[in-house]
Each structure stands twice: as structure tokens, then as C-alpha cells.
Amino acid sequence: MTTRWIFTFPEMISFATEVRAQGKSLALVPTMGALHEGHLSLVRQAKIQCDVVVVSIFVNPTQFGPTEDFARYPRNREKDFQYLESSNVHAVLAPSVPEVFPPGFSTFVDPGPIATILEGAQRPGHFRGVATVILRLFNIVKPDIAFFGQKDFQQVVMVRRLVEDLNLPVRIMVCPTVREADGLALSSRNVYLSAEDRKAGVLLSRSLKRVEEMAQAGEVDSQKLLEEMRKTFDAEPRLHLDYAAIVDPATLSPAAVAVPGSVALVAARLGTGRLIDNMIFGPPGSSPEMRLQVALMTQAADKESGASPRPDIDRLRLRIERCRDCAAVSSISLPAREFLVKYLRRDYADLGSTRVLVIGGCAPIDPFGLPNFHPDAPNPFATRLYELVGVKNFVEFKAHFALTDAARCHAIGNRVDERTLEYCAKYLREELKLFPNLQSIVILGEYAYLQFQKHILGRERANIKAFGELLKSQGRAQETVRLPSHGERDMRVFYCYHPTFENKRSPSLAAYFEQA
């Protein structure tokens, strides 16, 4: 694949219009170039989630203060291009300054109070510049999803606010910070560091690690944690601390106690460079993705009661259970919209030849949980599914079958509520249209059964037999139905136990499909 370089907005608009006309999803990864593994982690995530990935490279003069490093900010077109080409990025948008700020340009976005604290206090006007360019890029590229790094946590919070306040039709995904082996967060600005400064730079991540350990040992008083952070810096005269703070992740206002989801932020000057870093407090052993999820879902502190900001875990769980799309959980890797349709299109070359559609319970959060990603690795779900339908492996499976799911928001726990099923049914209805020659459907488990009966066949809840009752005598059930997506054609539907959610197993359906 050749990576396309785009320098002008009209060219970008026509590229994006073409992508959308092909029904493909589009990701944008905004950067200032001088790319490193941190940027590439965003690109990789974007490639997993969208069909087409655009990386923008623009060193935005309006986000630099008059005494800052705009002129000397590292620029390395050739190396960036090599990186992006070998990452199979579809297009690179590299506009000039006059393209982004033509003569007469005068409208700027004011992100409000968030832009005046922490980085905003140190760098007045910075977030105004960032917000203006990001909005401009969103309007030009119109991405389905835009990818940002946790490394710039305040920027993430500002961009999410921008999207929410201005109703921008884009989802913001956030990826964890990529670090050097010794903990230093990767940054284009690390090239400014002398060897000595580079050594001292590790203190940022070390101070964050230290307070994380303290919090896990039970010390959650922010003052004490901050004192400890400052002590780390006092020991290194090369480092000049700009700020160290423990904040509520929604508002970035100081948090009196560090709870899961609270964020410790630090910024320090070092020689001619300046470094920033952050760490999200989380339950012990939680992954960086989980912490991000908790932080981004945390509600703002209750100003009236002065209650400490706390992620409302129950509410979080409920929202995720209800719908991954509604919950907009940034760190979940698969947005429902693009989910199965994308994998179905990619992994099943000819959807017209599919005779049997298997509808499972919940789509896994991680695409690698899908049998087609690791067709040869033992996967209990896939092994039992193949047994059920009488095939040996994924190659045999996809010759006649395709797999989709009833719900796409299975983040925490196995319980799926009815509203989730109703919401996700719209994706299932769309997917059914992809298979014009479908003859049979296999429904796995109770949730898929309920959804299919109620939201695909349109049956009243009162007329839907309890799943356990239905399967009691034979371990499976069968009926012939007509689907709105398939007109007058009769469709055989088999209802079976879910291969992994339930203890019971349904007898093999192989005999039915041998004749298919």
C-alpha cells in the first residue's frame, strides 16, 4: 500500500469524501510530527478500529507561547514518512501554516476554565491554539474516531469537552502512555535533553510510580502524596518543578484524596527542555486501559456537597453494560458502530455465499478474542462452536457460516440488560442485510434468543417462551421464520445453549448443515 501525502484541505476533503462513499470508517491521529513509538501506538490502535487511517502532522504556531520552542520544535519529514509508510497509514495530512491559518483567519476556540489551569497556567493560550486546530482538522477530515495519548491528559480532557460542548460527531479514543524502559514517557521534545538531563528526566515517572505505590499501600491523602513527589524533585537541582498535582479527572480541579480515577500530573523544566507526565490511580493490578476507562468515566466532584470525586463504579458498569456506544468508553477498543460489520467484511470474503449466520451473546472487547483473529489457537468458545455446527476449524467454518453477536457492550460481567439488547439490535438488523442468501440462523444463548425474538422478529415479551423451558426437552429448539431483511424466504432458526456462558451443551447441529 502506498501512503498518500496530502498538503491541502481541498485534497483532504475529497479523500475523506471518497472514503465515506465507500462505506469505510475513518480514523484521525493528530500529531506535530517528529514521530516516535508513542505516536505509532495511536496509529496501531486506529488501524485496529477503522478501515482508513489519516495521520496529520502540523506544528501549530498558535499553541506555542512567544518565548516557547516553535521555531526549533523537531521536524523530521523524511523519518516520519518512513514510519508512516511502514505502518501502512493510508494518508498523511501535512498542511502548511498558511493552509491552516490563511490571511484573514480570526476565529479561535476558547476552551474555558480547563485551559487556564496546570499546563494552561504555564502556557497561556496553548489550549486555545490546540482547540482551534483540532476543531479545524475535525471539520476537514470528519473522522469517525480521533486518537489521542494519555501522555497529554489535560489535552484529552479539553478535547473531550470540546466534542461534547459543540456536539462534534466524532468519538475520542485515548491510548496509554508509551515509555522508555526506565519509565521516561516518550516525547518528541526528549531530543532536547542532554545526557545528564535525560538521566534526571526519569524522576518524573519515578515520582509518579512512588505515589502510586503509596496509594496502593493505603496512603490516599493528596497532600502527603504531593509532598512525597516534591521530595523526589528536591533531590535533583537540574529539575525545576512547574507543578505537581492530584486532580479530579473530569475537571482537573485538585482532589483531596486519591481515588481510582484520580490523576497525578507533573511538569518540570530541565535545561532547555520541559517534560510532562501523569499517572491514573487505579485498583491494584489494574491495566492502563482499565485506569483510563475509570478516569474518563468519573463524574465531576459534587460541588454542592463537597463530596470527593469518585468514579461511580456501579453507574459505570451499568452504562457499559447498557451500551458501549452510549458509554463512549474511550479505552474500549471496539466501537459498536464499526464493530462486526468491519470484521465480517474483512474475514469473510464472500458474504453472499454464507448460508448460516451464528449469533453469539456479546462481542468481545478485544478483537483478538474473536476466533478469526487467532484461527489456530485454542479458544474454548470457538472449539465448542465448531463442534456444535460440525466443522474442524475456522477455514471450514467460514466456508458456510459467519459469526456475529447480539450485543457489543460486554465490558464488565456477563449480564446484559434488555435495553442493551434493544439498542444493539439495530446493528444486528443491518448485519442481516449483508447476507442475501442466508438459509439458517443459529442463536447462542439466552440474550441472543431474547433479542432475536423481541427485536428482530418483533414478538411481544409475554409471548416469548422462557429460554430454559424452550430448550428443556431436547437441549435445543428450532422454528421457521421470515425476517424483514429477507422478504418472503423461509429461514430455519436453531436456538442453542451458549457454548461458554452456560453449563449445559446443546447436541450437535452438524447433521443439519451437512446437507446445506
Residue from 36, 39, 410, 498 carrying the catalytic annotation: 39
The single residue among 3, 41, 293, 485 that binds ligand AMP, judged by CB under 6 A, is: 41
Q: Which is nearer to ligand AMP, 5 or 373 (CB)?
A: 5
Q: Compute the chain's Rg from CA coordinates.
A: 26
CB of 498 to ligand AMP, least distance (A): 37
Contact flags string 115-154 toward ligand AMP, x per CB under 6 A: ---------------------------------xx-xx--
| Strands, sheet with 476-481, edge to edge from the N-terminal-most edge strand | 401-407, 356-362, 440-444, 491-496, 476-481
Question: In the window 10-39, what residues touch ligand AMP (CB under 6 A)?
Answer: 31-32, 38-39
Nearest residue to 357 via CA among 506, 514, 494:
494
Nearest distance in Å: CB 449, ligand AMP: 42
Phi, psi of 48 (to 5 degrees): -65, -40
**Residue 263 vs 388, nearer CB to ligand AMP:** 263
Contact flags string 160-179 toward ligand AMP, x per CB under 6 A? ---------------x-xx-
Question: What residues pair up with 481 in beta bridges, in sequence order?
Answer: 491
Q: Which residues of 56-90 are buried (b: 16+ CB within 10 A; e: fewer)?
A: bbbbbebbbeeeeeeeebbeeeeebbebbeebebb
Signed CA dihedral, 452, 455, 459, 461: sign only: positive
Residue 220 and residue 264 in contact, taking contact as beta carbons nearer than 8 Å: no
**Least Å distance between CB 288 and ligand AMP?**
10
The interface with ligand AMP within residues 173-212 (CB under 6 A) comprises: 175, 177-178, 185-188
Q: DSSP letters of 300-312?
A: PP-TTTTPPP---
Q: How far apart are CA 116 and CA 138, in angstroms?
A: 23
CB of 146 to ligand AMP, least distance (A): 9
- Which amino acid, residue 297? M
User: Considering beta carbons, is residue 28 or 424 the nearer one to ligand AMP?
Assistant: 28
- In terms of CB distance, is 141 or 175 closer to ligand AMP? 175
DSSP E strand stretches across 37-191: 52-57, 91-93, 145-149, 171-175
* Closer by beta carbon to ligand AMP, 137 or else 416: 137
CB of residue 148 to ligand AMP, shortest distance in Å? 4
Q: Catalytic: 39? A: yes
Residues with catalytic annotation? Answer: 39
Give residues in contact with ligand AMP (CB under 6 A): 31-32, 38-39, 41-42, 148-149, 151-152, 175, 177-178, 185-188
